[in-house]
Amino acid sequence: PLSQLFSKSTTSCSRMVRANIYPTRALSSSVTPIKISVFSRPFSSNVIRNGATIRPVTVRPRSISTQISFTEAAPFLCQRRCISYPSLRRSEVLSVLGSASSHLSNNVPASIIDKIERREAALHVTPNHPLSIIRTSIENYWKTKHPSIKFDSFNDLSPIVSVKQNFDDLLIPQDHVSRSQSDTYYVDDTRVLRTHTSAHQSDILKLSKAFLVSGDVYRRDEIDSSHYPIFHQMEGVRIFDGEVSEQDIVSDLKEGLEGLALTLFGDVEMRWVDAYFPFTNPSFELEIYYGGEWLEVLGCGVVQRKILNDAGLVKEKGWAFGLGLERLAMVLFSIPDIRLFWSEDSRFTSQFVDEKVTKFIPYSKYPPCLKDISFWIDSGEAATSLQGRRPYHANDFNEAVRTVAGDLVERVELVDSFTNPKTGRKSHCYRITYRSMDRNLTNVEIDDLQTKVREFVADNLEVELR
Ligand code: DAH
């Protein structure tokens, strides 16, 4: 095998990867190019693509230094222990989203693309931003309190992942609701905007035994003070070699995460709750008693055997956890509305500095404006009359409102739902709360928005306005 023939000296990570490979024993100095077909981990076939040609560049009596160049290397595969990930070029993400926008399966709205486009960097890596402050304080906790683990950090992985990475690799069942078009943003048939940072678990398991992945994640969801279609998560994974019992793994996991909660929240009461995630077994959630209520902080568990096997780790065992950065930051910084994280108003941004968790001082809250909208959500005829069209889902309406009103929409609530006993038709009435974070909205402006919402809904959803 080539792995016995060569020892590698350097690799560098960029779109173009170069590796100097030195033979470990004398090779014939007749330097015909060598075709590579397979390489062993961590230099898997993803890195050296089948058929890549090694061209010798230096010939010395007992060694040949060869340099290979190839493009499109799997971007996550880098040197152990000093992992540098090629930073995500936002323009590339945007160009994929742009070019796939007419694909039949694409349901990524312009408002999402706009959000990515408007920021120079993702919020969790923006200096002096609460989400970045929380991320670094979690990374620092592991670094200082558990220095022997040596987590690799990945903060710049592209949010566009395959359906396989986001769902299949994590053993999420084919009929799981999270796979549906009403819950997930599809770029095309095979790619999604990741719905969780767990999407990178399987790939990174192939090269790292302990890692943290933070990133922006995307879900079609409700609209209220704690839900926003883009939010941020951190995933953590630790792999153990050799004979470790499941009990030891669970103890290590719980001890590490309890320490994290204490570091973030101070001396709080905590409890472990049994949970279910397709990718861990057993699975748990950690809750803390904070501000008079039990608050779920994170999910975690022992990584499923099959996930490890699929990554080539047939003997190893490990744990994983996942947490939402907004959820923690809203509590720790007392940030009352999730939209504030996106604010560019200096009254928000100037309040925070790196490495310090401080309470947000609210500036005047502008008055809200409520508007109702009602529509029939079906024709009352049998579902077959939809002729292959997707039935109405509340998330479609939420997104329509978001598309028209952007961050001026604070909340969308279903306030009434009834079925006409004669026709069997179903009707929904929603209350939309409009409010700006940084200015007064005029009546004229809101009326205009509401009219546009009605028009947009009538034109784009399978409903009939009342
Ligand atoms: N991916 C889960 C979510 O988005 C969070 C999670 C739970 C991650 C358990 C994990 C885990 O790694 O073990 O809700």
Minimum CA distance residue for ligand 1 atom 5: 322
Predicted local distance difference test score (pLDDT) of residue 180: 95
Question: Please, are residues 42 and 79 in contact by the beta-carbon 8 Å criterion?
Answer: no
Give the E-state strand segments of 60-195 in sequence order. Answer: 64-70, 152-154, 160-162, 191-193
Ligand 1 contacts CB of residue 165 (under 6 A): no
Residues 144 and 270 in one domain: yes
Point out the ligand 1 atom lying closest to the alpha carbon of residue 233. Answer: 4
How far does the centroid of ligand 1 lie from the alpha carbon of residue 358, in Å? 27
Ramachandran sector of residue 176 (left: φ over 0; alpha: ψ -120 to 50; beta: rest): beta
Assess whether the C-beta atom of 319 lies below 6 angstroms from ligand 1.
no
Output the residue whose Cα is nearest ligand 1's atom 8: 322
User: Does 322 sit in the ligand 1 pocket, CB within 6 Å?
Assistant: yes
> Are residues 374 and 242 located together in one domain of the fold?
no
SS3 344: coil
Structural domain includes residue 205: yes
Pocket test for ligand 1, best of 201, 235, 304 (most atoms within 8 A of CB): 235
Q: How far apart are CA 215 and CA 168, in angstroms?
A: 20
350 in any annotated domain: no
- Using the atom order of ligand 1, give the atom closest to the CA of residue 303: 13
Question: 158 and 39: one domain?
Answer: no
Instruction: List the CATH number of the domain containing 219.
Output: 3.30.930.10
Same domain, 64 and 99: no
Q: pLDDT at position 387, please? A: 56
Question: In this structure, is the dihedral angle defined by the CA atoms of residues 335, 336, 338 and 342, taken in order, positive or negative?
Answer: negative
Domain tally for the chain?
3
- Domain span holding position 190: 91-339
Is 3 inside a domain boundary? no
Query: For residue 237, which atom of ligand 1 is closest to its CA?
Result: 12
State yes or no: cis peptide before 278, omega within 30 of 0.
no
Residue 218 forms part of a structural domain:
yes
| Whether residue 229 sits in one domain with residue 156 | yes
How far apart (Å, rounded) are the C-alpha atoms in residues 350 and 341? 12
Shared domain check, 55 and 96: no
> What is the chain's percent helix, strand, coil content, to nearest 5?
30, 30, 40
Residues 335/358, Cβ–Cβ less than 8 Å:
no
pLDDT 10s digit of each residue in the chain, 466 long? 344 444 443 333 333 333 444 444 444 444 444 433 322 223 322 333 333 434 433 323 233 334 333 333 333 333 333 344 455 678 889 989 988 988 999 999 988 998 988 888 899 999 999 999 999 999 999 999 999 999 999 998 999 999 999 999 999 999 999 999 999 999 999 999 999 999 999 999 998 999 999 999 999 999 999 999 999 999 999 999 978 999 999 999 999 999 999 999 999 999 999 999 999 999 999 999 988 999 999 999 999 999 999 999 999 999 999 999 999 999 999 999 999 999 999 999 999 999 999 999 998 789 999 999 999 998 766 544 545 567 889 999 999 999 999 999 999 999 999 999 998 899 999 999 999 988 899 999 999 999 999 999 999 898 999 9
pLDDT for position 389: 65
Q: Is 320 in the pocket of ligand 1 (CB under 6 A)?
A: yes
Per-residue DSSP letters for 12-31? Answer: --SSSEEEEEEESS---S--
Output the residue whose Cα is nearest ligand 1's atom 12. Answer: 321
> Residue 432 corresponds to which amino acid?
I
> Given the DSSP bridges, would you call strands 191-193 and 210-218 parallel, antiparallel or unpaired?
unpaired
Q: Are residues 104 and 62 part of one domain?
A: no
The finding on whether 198 has its CB within 6 A of some atom of ligand 1 is yes
Indicate whether residue 218 lines ligand 1 (CB < 6 A).
Answer: no
Structural contact between residues 437 and 340, judged by C-beta atoms closer than 8 angstroms = yes
Query: From the alpha carbon of 280, which atom of ligand 1 is closest?
Result: 13
Any domain includes 425: yes
- CATH number reported for the structural domain that contains residue 433 in this entry: 3.30.70.380
Query: Which amino acid, 148?
Result: S
Ligand 1 close to Cβ of residue 185 (< 6 A): no
107, 215: one domain: yes
| Residue 154, φ and ψ in degrees, nearest 5 | -125, 115
DSSP strand pairing (369-376 vs 426-434) = antiparallel
Task: Report if residue 383 sits inside a domain.
Answer: yes
Domain-located, residue 199:
yes
Same domain, 206 and 332: yes
Which of these three, 297, 324, 339, is where a domain ends? 339
Residue of 272, 273, 279, 327 to test ligand 1 pocket, by largest number of atoms within 8 Å of CB: 279
- Closest atom of ligand 1 to CA, residue 197: 1
Both 62 and 96 in a single domain? no
- Same-domain check for residues 311 and 412: no
Residue 357 lies in a domain: no
| Cβ of 299 less than 6 Å from ligand 1 | yes
84, two tokens: 């540098």
H or E stretch including 144? helix 130-145
- Enter the DSSP assignment of 304: P
- Which of 323, 339, 355 delimits the end of a domain? 339
Q: How close is the Cα of 284 to the center of ligand 1, in Å?
A: 10
CB count, 10 Å around CB of 306? Answer: 11
Q: Are residues 414 and 447 in the same domain?
A: yes
Distance CA 259, CA 266 (A): 10
Residues 184/188/189/194 CA torsion (nearest 10 deg): -40
